[in-house]
Amino acid sequence: MSDLSSLTISELQTGFRSGAFTPADAVRAIESRIESIDPQIQAYLARDFDSALAAAEKADVSLPLGGVPIGIKDVINVWGEQCTCGSKILAGYKAPYDATVISKLRAAGAIPFGRLNMDEFAMGSSTENSAYQITRNPWDTTRIPGGSSGGSAAAVAAREAFATLGSDTGGSIRQPAALCGVVGLKPSYGRVSRYGLVAFASSLDQIGPFARSTRDCAAILNAIAGKDPRDSTSLELPEEDFTTRLGRDLKGVKLGIPKEYFVDGMDSRIRKKVEAAIRQCESLGAELVEVSLPHTEYAIGVYYIIATAEASANLARFDGVRYGHRAKNPADLLDHYRRTREEGFGSEVKRRIILGTYVLSSGYYDAYYLRAQKVRTLIRRDFTNAFEKVDALICPTSPDLAFKIGERVNDPLRMYLADIFTIAANLAGICGISVPCGLVEEDGKQLPVGLQFLGKPLDETRLLGIADAYEQAASQEILSRIP
């Protein structure tokens, strides 16, 4: 049954309901694939095959996601399973409850399966910051899969998962989706509950799916979206079916091309693939409109002030008193705090906590944090103005192909710039999706390129319809060639 690992969710469900195979067969196929290939990819930190198989044998395949195993990024709590956030400070910690998205997946019939590697506390763009292992890109195992949800993207690309959940604070779903040649959706802020997601930056974080198709992402969003009384930032909205615009063309759709996203320094081969995708959308009936997002140049700076400030506050809870790593034989309470956090946190997390504490400190709050919030408002206004003219934006997801492992570890600024086309969407709270748009040869290997669509706040249904139209017309080749 190993061939089942290449199916989409919709293909799985057709097989389940026809009796061609069972959810237990699907779990066995994924487990077999993991045992075969994960020693090279290292996407998974842990998994409980026996529990997943037991759940599969009882699965109700009439439910929307009945019997479908879905991998989970190790920053989302699943009752009884580890939740390390890729950090030594949470080694051995097991979640005492389900995150809301996990409860919703279970209610839809899905089977949460496995813990997927990530940059520590979601801080990174390459999954090299994990305290446990480096996940490798299935297209070329000498290269990174992107981050911080690198394990989630690599697992789908390597057919070690049918779909996965990740989190996106500044591009951590869309960027690894692009570099691994899969589909990744960041919902609008407030669309999906963050209860049970270990916080990095609370005003930016959002949970979303990775899958082999836009249609599978829509099906998962149907399951996980909705108001949650345990998350005050989740929005009370009418129930919506995000699949209703799938299968349409792009006639009458206005797509904006943000001129600031086609900059010098972007890989010329990526530019060509994205420009070809734009022409493809035009051939499907879309009207192309050039737009401007004039404050884009400030997005990286604003993000690394706001995100680190929020991280410094959120990560203060990891002190070794209640759970997680605890320093041995501390001299006093201050020594306990200092050594616990020094031993438990990695260098990138320490770097961001220090930066965040600095920008919030007395004498610097107004100069940095307050000013960054004001510029964030201008960035959000740029998108509002653009969306008065167009239905969605089309642009690259990443300026670079997947780079070599170790290539940027000692160059934080260059690493941060990997998210230059994704960060602004989080600052503005809008929705975005990355879909594959072609392959480029590098060092004798084929590497994927991602095309990004950005939609209005809470306009996921339209965004998914646009992405699906492009995907159905142009992107099937890359999905059939996933390694």
Owning domain of residue 211:
2-255+387-480
Give a yes or no: residue 262 inside a domain: no
pLDDT at 477: 57
pLDDT at 1: 42
What tens digit of pLDDT does each residue of 429-481 get? 999 999 999 999 999 999 999 999 999 999 999 999 999 999 999 865 565 56
Give a yes or no: residue 241 inside a domain: yes
Give a yes or no: residue 358 inside a domain: no
Our count of domains for the chain comes to 1
- HEC profile of the chain: CHHHHHCCHHHHHHHHHHCCCCHHHHHHHHHHHHHHHHHHHCCEEECCHHHHHHHHHCCCCCCCCCCCEEEEECCECCCCCECCCCCHHHCCCECCCCCHHHHHHHHCCCEEEEEECCCHHHCCCCCCCCCCCCCCECCECCECCCCCCHHHHHHHHCCCCCEEEEECCCCCCHHHHHHHCCEEEECCCCCECCCCECCCCCCCCCEEEEECCHHHHHHHHHHHECCCCCCCCCCCCCCCCCCCCCCCCCCCCEEEEEHHHCCCCCCHHHHHHHHHHHHHHHHCCCEEEEECCCCHHHHHHHHHHHHHHHHHHHHHHCCCCCCCCCCCCCCCHHHHHHHHHHHHCCHHHHHHHHHHHHHHCCCCHHHHHHHHHHHHHHHHHHHHHHHCCCCEEEEECCCCCCCECCCCCCCHHHHHHHHCCCHHHHHHCCEEEEEEEEEEEECCEEEEEEEEEEECCCCHHHHHHHHHHHHHHHHHHHHHCCC
Give a yes or no: residue 201 inside a domain: yes
Give a yes or no: residue 260 inside a domain: no
Q: Hey, which residues are catalytic here?
A: 73, 148, 172
Give a yes or no: residue 243 inside a domain: yes
Give a yes or no: residue 393 inside a domain: yes
Give a yes or no: residue 465 inside a domain: yes
pTM of the model: 0.97
Residue numbers of the chain with a pLDDT score lower than 50: 1-2
What tens digit of pLDDT does each residue of 94-141 get? 999 999 999 999 999 999 999 999 999 999 999 999 999 999 999 999
Say which CATH number the domain at 188 has: 3.90.1300.10
